Structure 1
Amino acid sequence: MNLSTAKYLIIITIGLIFYSCKNDPLDIDVSSVDVTLNVKRFDQQLFGYEKITDKEVDELAKKYNPFYTAFIENIVSIGNVNDPSVYYYLNNFTHDKNIKSVQKDIDNLYNDFNDYEIGLKEAFQHYKFYFPNKNIPQIITYNSGFNYAVVTDSSYLGIGLEMFLGDKYPAYKQLGLPQYKIASMTNKHLVSSVMLGWISTEFELEQANADLLTEMVHQGKLLYVLDALIPIEEDSIKINYTNKEVKWSNANEKQVWFYFIDNDLLYTKETKEIIKYMGEAPFIQGFPEGSPGRIGHWIGWQIVKAYMDNNQELSLTDLIKEKDAQKILNKSKYKP
């Protein structure tokens, strides 16, 4: 190969890379999308009190409601928010030796929340770009004592920081959490998990007693929306798989799909079967070694990607509005 040919190939290669990037429908510049993200550190304020009295309770209620009410009554379930003794129960919670230790670890890892705030803001800029009429929630961080990783309401998105302390955090194993779950309880997964939690409540599956195909396509739609909100994130982070599990899913996609077809599983409504392929699990029973749980989420994701690739006139809103999973499958021309 002479020098001129080599230069020509380099130019062609660079051109192809540039062309592919420019034609990625999710490669959107959102720097001009105006989003103000309001982040409140409820955990730091709550545990910053040396002693909680009625005065502190009033402060928390005024600053954080309706989240404060949800925290008291549902997230940590320590009583009724209007109970005159609620300050007493809050003191018990914040002065518990184990809970205080967890909060110290939260402070060590998340004292500076700026990087995560930037990541969340960029995600919500994409969200506002695609769904301009949707509400941008305030972000509230908390320590629930290992109860909830993400809680949402129309006005807020709560993040349980104790659920993102790292896959080596000793308390997780002490609590008996399975390793496949612990693997995604890291700060690297925070933005992705939080945004998936938000869109899962914003775009819920409305159909009751749905079949497996509908469940798969619904989860695929959520993951595709996540693709749009955090387009530079790795697939493994978005679906909470290890890199090895992503490789297995890619390598066995065809076999899994034909297994569903050959066993007439796409239209089953049996709860046991749906949980087997959609529920949290270390592996799929009866599948070859290395299979990850929630393989139905992965297949649904690939179907939706094919649907959007083959119907590029459709917007993200169009995708969300389309409720007919069979239509999505047919128009996707999905062939793994």
Structure 2
Amino acid sequence: MIAKTFLTVLFTVTLFSCTGQNTNTTNYAETTPMHIQRFDKELFALVDTKDTTMQVQLRKQYPQMLDILGKGILNIQTPDDPNFFPKLITFYSEPTLKQLYMEAITQYNDISDIEKKLGEGFNYLHANFPSMQIPAVYMHISGFNQNVLVGDSLLSISIDKYMGKDFPLYQDFFYDYQKQKMQRHNIVPDYLAGWIMSEYPFTGKENVLLDRMIYEGKIKYLLSQALPEITQADLIGFTEQNLNWCKEHEEDIWKAIIERKDLFTPDHMTTSKYFEDAPSTHLANEAPGNVGTWVGWQIVNKYMKETNSTPEALINANAQTILEASKYKP
């Protein structure tokens, strides 16, 4: 089996250098698909053939991807290192990883549907954030490691993390609540979330629940507007049963947060429990994970209804202002 050192948290963004009115006015009929550069296929050709003459072309065509991959996965600072390509080939030649690599690029041979949806998503972002730079987009394989790589004008997804919840190899490594997020329909939201988070990084207090909730809620709101055809459950990685539980117990969840005084208490362990993918058993045995993000999304939805704010103003508003103006009271 693949060494457990390949494993990391399910949604990792590595940086280098529920309901609400949909206000999306993007004309999807006029949207141009987003071209995704297949670094994954080009690199596999080198790994499979071990043809060293291909290294020159790879370095010429994908200098940033090689640099980021080396730093993020191989722990090598530069492709100029004489050990770079030998170590890279050795890493991807591990039998189980190589088989995973082959199955991933086979499953994702045709990505026209992803390119179309990605074009729609970035069209929304460009319309609402005119100064936002649009990146060059790639695909890579990480061996269950870094699934989103972000660099200067570069964005890449590790497609081996999106092989479907029933993919045999996942059964040995991931829980059901993790596998729920490892499906094809999660790729475009994760691309967009990775880029939004890189352009508008979290600036609040990491240990304060309200700050974290509102930031995550902002991201989910923007994704719901950019990708209106994707269900609420899929955007947050819930089953429909998970989503319905949250809707039915929204008042109880909020009441518990307030009564426990968790909203403003700067305690890392308490705050982190609300964003873990594992079930939120500290709230109720039936509660899904990531309840903090779901509540934050509801607050942001309410805020946008109450204020009719723009997406750009939303992303720059602070958490306390959003909570107060939202008049959130489930």
2:171: which partner in 1? 173
Q: Does 2:292 correspond to 1:296?
A: yes
Displacement of 1:97 in angstroms is 1.6
Displacement of 1:322 in angstroms is 0.9
CA deviations over 1:183-213 (Å, ceiling 9, x no partner): 2101122212222222222221113445211
Q: Secondary structure at the match of 1:196?
A: helix
1:238: which partner in 2? 235
CA distance in 2 between counterparts of 1:98 and 1:205 reads 37
Q: Check conservation: 1:280, 1:293, Cα contact below 8 A.
A: yes
1:332: which partner in 2? 326
Within the candidate set 114, 120, 123, 1:122 is matched to 120
2:223: which partner in 1? 226
CA deviations over 1:272-297 (Å, ceiling 9, x no partner): 1101112232x112322320111111
CA distance in 1 between counterparts of 2:288 and 2:152 reads 33
2:307: which partner in 1? 311
Q: Cα distance 1:108–1:122, how it changes in 2: closer, same or farther (>3 A)? A: same
Displacement of 1:83 in angstroms is 1.4
1:135: which partner in 2? 133
Q: Check conservation: 1:236, 1:243, Cα contact below 8 A.
A: yes
Q: Secondary structure at the match of 1:310?
A: helix
Displacement of 1:134 in angstroms is 0.8
Root mean square deviation, CA, Å: 2.0
2:75: which partner in 1? 77
Q: Check conservation: 2:208, 2:263, Cα contact below 8 A.
A: yes
Q: Check conservation: 2:34, 2:119, Cα contact below 8 A.
A: yes
Within the candidate set 103, 106, 114, 2:104 is matched to 106
Q: Secondary structure at the match of 2:163?
A: coil
CA distance in 2 between counterparts of 1:236 and 1:71 reads 31
Displacement of 1:108 in angstroms is 2.4
CA deviations over 1:300-332 (Å, ceiling 9, x no partner): 1000000000111x2101101112x12111110
Displacement of 1:75 in angstroms is 2.6
CA distance in 1 between counterparts of 2:155 and 2:30 reads 20
Displacement of 1:87 in angstroms is 2.4
Give the counterpart letter for 2:282 in structure 1.
Answer: G
CA distance in 2 between counterparts of 1:198 and 1:133 reads 14
Give the counterpart letter for 1:326 in structure 2.
Answer: Q
Give the counterpart letter for 1:131 in structure 2.
Answer: F
CA distance in 2 between counterparts of 1:262 and 1:146 reads 39
Within the candidate set 201, 213, 217, 2:198 is matched to 201
Q: Check conservation: 2:21, 2:305, Cα contact below 8 A.
A: no
Q: Check conservation: 1:192, 1:237, Cα contact below 8 A.
A: no
Q: Check conservation: 2:67, 2:79, Cα contact below 8 A.
A: yes
Q: Does 2:157 correspond to 1:159?
A: yes
Q: Which moved more, 1:29-38 or 1:133-142?
A: 29-38
CA distance in 1 between counterparts of 2:176 and 2:125 reads 32
1:63: which partner in 2? 61
Displacement of 1:32 in angstroms is 7.5
1:321: which partner in 2? 316
- Relative CO higher for 1 or 2, CA cutoff 8 Å, sep ≥ 6? 2
Q: Check conservation: 1:26, 1:227, Cα contact below 8 A.
A: no
CA distance in 1 between counterparts of 2:53 and 2:202 reads 42
1:264: which partner in 2? 261
Q: Which moved more, 1:85-94 or 1:139-148?
A: 85-94
Q: Secondary structure at the match of 2:138?
A: strand
TM-score after normalising by structure 1: 0.86
Give the counterpart letter for 1:146 in structure 2.
Answer: F
Structure 2 unaligned residues grouped into runs of 5+: 1-19
Q: Which moved more, 1:215-224 or 1:286-295?
A: 286-295
Structure 1 unaligned residues grouped into runs of 5+: 1-22
Within the candidate set 249, 252, 256, 1:252 is matched to 249
Within the candidate set 279, 282, 288, 1:286 is matched to 282
Displacement of 1:117 in angstroms is 0.8
Q: Check conservation: 2:21, 2:301, Cα contact below 8 A.
A: no
Displacement of 1:80 in angstroms is 4.2
Q: Check conservation: 2:34, 2:116, Cα contact below 8 A.
A: no
CA distance in 1 between counterparts of 2:152 and 2:227 reads 21
Q: Cα distance 1:148–1:134, how it changes in 2: closer, same or farther (>3 A)? A: same
Q: Check conservation: 2:68, 2:149, Cα contact below 8 A.
A: no
CA distance in 2 between counterparts of 1:200 and 1:145 reads 23
Q: Check conservation: 2:31, 2:119, Cα contact below 8 A.
A: no
Give the counterpart letter for 1:196 in structure 2.
Answer: A
Structure with the greater alpha carbon radius of gyration:
1
Q: Check conservation: 2:142, 2:160, Cα contact below 8 A.
A: yes
2:274: which partner in 1? 277
- Structure 1 stretches of 4+ moved >6 Å: none
